[in-house]
A and B are shown apart, each in its own frame.
Chain A
């Protein structure tokens, strides 16, 4: 492995993958995660996000180091991932969305997954067609690249029609609440900002909307958790999708103390060009041997064109 900081990005770690999650594939079984951690601990020094960041800043990455980051704030992280990592005496990071954390608005992608499971997408298609969708296109992809307020309203309306209030109330059990996040923070986990509602902000490089999503989330986190965040984790940090525009805007305008976190499957190495951003590696549903092979092939960030 290369002398760099590898940050692995997972979502939910759980024995469960219900109708809200099975179409979006956000879950990872605990036994497989445990297998990953065991295999990775043989190849890397496992470090917390804070330790990794400190070493990166000081240029002290003299061996391969690795951290774990979990997006969206699922309850499975505290229940299953935390005990596995604490056995290795390492804390992870969790990127939370204030809308889910505070039970304001449920994750729109999970609503789509639910609709896909209950044959509800047929009611959504007419709304999508008004926004340029063509029959046969993937709704999953289309919504990622074209999401707007009309589409989100449409998803919400159909979801409410096809689910009971009891179900909607129960669905919150998937997401961590304030107490759960405080428990993770008390165990040395890094809590980061993942915007309010997890929308694909990169589609329109409109910095103000990005900043608003992050800023509102930050305000709410400070209010409810009592502390602010260092890392702003970009939702759907897909490889190089309008990212250069976004990075330039961010570097120019973002508060000085914030570090932007992307998901480009790149390694983090100390260098002049990498001052205020981090890169993470999205972990696919593969066994540990395949994961190690994949990690060996990855390259560090080389700067912007």
Chain B
């Protein structure tokens, strides 16, 4: 749907150009579903799918060293430095406690990540297997840091895509976005402008704000999820859902909203945008998420908050 609180603006799209598509996503099942659904809907318009993987070797050499190339010792050192920054006072005890908190947080996220992967298989596994049976789509694998390389920008410039559709990924350089002949669109698992950045579904759950469990499809700009909104809507939540399944529902909805948006842009040369107010909302950064947030969300779910909230919403 359109965001009711924002002002709309009509934009004309360039005409007489081939409306070809380049996709960019990560490599989990929800990201693969995104790519295959696009290919299923738009067929030969899809010219390339760049699949990002943190564990991949870089395609282009000019970039700085990536996390995957770091040794365990280096990773521990980084963690210790971050713990030191966060320690709540001087002395080794404060540092040790901060380190324990950092480790705990990492374990919480790893645990959550495993839950997401299991739920992904349950929710999308079958659908994706069927899609893969019918559709031929070969990804170009690369490391996320490759996105910022001049070689990648040149590759995109050569394709000259009309649509550059992304799910996840790093921030895109303006130079790259300038290569798009039509429009670059991103699907964000959050309620922009209120919740921009990362882990926005978890933050909205932490705030017990079901209205802000949303998927936003927006024009990609060099800012995080800050581009003009094209569509935004809420997922269909099931009473038995967990934080992991809710996040995946948001992702699945985003893909469907993206399809609708692109379909409408292919058939009409104008579209409605809703610029995001600069002073509204918050950009959440993954590293800034305190450890208690995720644990509070799990605690709420264990106590049946979701069922109660869904019931409350239906009683008017």
A binding-site residues for B, Cβ under 8 Å: 14-20, 22-25, 27-29, 31-32, 34, 79, 87, 112, 116-118, 121, 138-140, 163-164, 166-167, 170-171, 173, 285, 287
Q: Are A17 and B1 in contact (CB under 8 A)?
A: no
Q: Are A139 and B316 in contact (CB under 8 A)?
A: yes
Q: Are B4 and A23 in contact (CB under 8 A)?
A: no
Looking at B1, B257, B260, the one whose CB has the most chain A CB atoms below 10 A away is B1
Closest residue of chain A to B316 (Cβ to Cβ) is: A116
Chain B nearest CB: distance from A76 CB in Å?
Answer: 9
A-B contact pairs, 15 of them (CB 8 A): A15-B236, A15-B253, A16-B233, A23-B313, A29-B235, A29-B236, A29-B237, A31-B127, A34-B126, A87-B130, A140-B314, A140-B315, A167-B1, A167-B4, A170-B1
Known: A31-B123, A34-B126. A19 touches B316 (CB 8 A): no
Q: Are A166 and B8 in contact (CB under 8 A)?
A: yes
Q: Are A17 and B236 in contact (CB under 8 A)?
A: yes
Q: In the bound complex, what is the Cα–Cα distance between A81 and B239 (angstroms)?
A: 20
Chain A nearest CB: distance from B121 CB in Å?
Answer: 11
Q: Which of B124, B253, B313, B316 contacts A138 (CB 8 A)?
A: B316
Known: A15-B253, A163-B4. A22 touches B238 (CB 8 A): no
Interface residues on B, range: 20 to 34
Q: Are B2 and A166 in contact (CB under 8 A)?
A: yes
Q: In the bound complex, what is the Cα–Cα distance between A32 and B236 (angstroms)?
A: 11
Instruction: Add 10 more A-B contacts to A15-B249, A16-B233, A170-B2 (CB < 8 A).
Output: A15-B252, A16-B256, A23-B313, A25-B314, A28-B236, A31-B123, A31-B124, A34-B127, A164-B8, A167-B2
Q: Which of A17, A19, A34 contacts B235 (CB 8 A)?
A: A17
User: Number of contacts between A and B (CB, 8 Å)?
Assistant: 78
Q: In the bound complex, what is the Cα–Cα distance between A16 and B211 (angstroms)?
A: 13
Looking at B2, B130, B257, the one whose CB has the most chain A CB atoms below 10 A away is B2
Chain B contacts for A20, CB-based, 8 A: 1
Residue B149 interfacial (CB < 8 Å): no
Known: A22-B313, A24-B314, A29-B249. A16 touches B236 (CB 8 A): yes
Q: Which of A24, A112, A139, A171 contacts B1 (CB 8 A)?
A: A171
Q: In the bound complex, what is the Cα–Cα distance between A227 and B314 (angstroms)?
A: 37
Q: Are B315 and A18 in contact (CB under 8 A)?
A: no
Q: Are A138 and B252 in contact (CB under 8 A)?
A: no
Chain B nearest CB: distance from A144 CB in Å?
Answer: 12
Chain B contacts for A25, CB-based, 8 A: 310, 314
Q: In the bound complex, what is the Cα–Cα distance between A121 and B257 (angstroms)?
A: 29
B binding-site residues for A, Cβ under 8 Å: 1-2, 4, 8, 122-124, 126-127, 130, 211, 233-240, 249, 252-253, 256-257, 260, 272, 310, 313-316
Chain A contacts for B130, CB-based, 8 A: 87
Known: A25-B314, A138-B315. A19 touches B239 (CB 8 A): no
Q: Are B234 and A18 in contact (CB under 8 A)?
A: yes
Chain B nearest CB: distance from A143 CB in Å?
Answer: 10
Chain A contacts for B239, CB-based, 8 A: 285
Q: Are B260 and A173 in contact (CB under 8 A)?
A: yes
Q: Which of B126, B253, B260, B316 contacts A121 (CB 8 A)?
A: B316
Chain A contacts for B313, CB-based, 8 A: 22-23
Looking at B127, B238, B257, B316, the one whose CB has the most chain A CB atoms below 10 A away is B316
Known: A163-B4, A171-B1, A285-B239. A16 touches B316 (CB 8 A): no
Chain B contacts for A31, CB-based, 8 A: 122-124, 127
Chain B nearest CB: distance from A31 CB in Å?
Answer: 4
Chain A contacts for B257, CB-based, 8 A: 16
Closest residue of chain A to B251 (Cβ to Cβ) is: A15
Q: Are B1 and A18 in contact (CB under 8 A)?
A: yes
Chain B nearest CB: distance from A288 CB in Å?
Answer: 11
Chain B contacts for A23, CB-based, 8 A: 313-314, 316
Q: In the bound complex, what is the Cα–Cα distance between A163 and B236 (angstroms)?
A: 22
Closest 5 CB pairs of A and B: A17-B236, A116-B316, A15-B253, A27-B236, A31-B123
Q: Which of B122, B211, B236, B310 contacts A14 (CB 8 A)?
A: B236
Chain A contacts for B260, CB-based, 8 A: 173
Q: In the bound complex, what is the Cα–Cα distance between A259 and B256 (angstroms)?
A: 37
Closest residue of chain B to A173 (Cβ to Cβ) is: B260
Chain A contacts for B272, CB-based, 8 A: 166
Chain B contacts for A32, CB-based, 8 A: 238
Chain B nearest CB: distance from A251 CB in Å?
Answer: 35
Looking at B4, B127, B237, B315, the one whose CB has the most chain A CB atoms below 10 A away is B4
Q: In the bound complex, what is the Cα–Cα distance between A173 and B264 (angstroms)?
A: 11
Looking at A15, A138, A171, the one whose CB has the most chain B CB atoms below 10 A away is A15
Q: In the bound complex, what is the Cα–Cα distance between A79 and B233 (angstroms)?
A: 17
Chain B nearest CB: distance from A34 CB in Å?
Answer: 7
Closest residue of chain B to A34 (Cβ to Cβ) is: B126
Q: In the bound complex, what is the Cα–Cα distance between A29 and B252 (angstroms)?
A: 10
Chain B nearest CB: distance from A193 CB in Å?
Answer: 27
Chain A contacts for B126, CB-based, 8 A: 34
Chain B contacts for A170, CB-based, 8 A: 1-2
Q: Are A17 and B316 in contact (CB under 8 A)?
A: no
Q: In the bound complex, what is the Cα–Cα distance between A23 and B211 (angstroms)?
A: 11
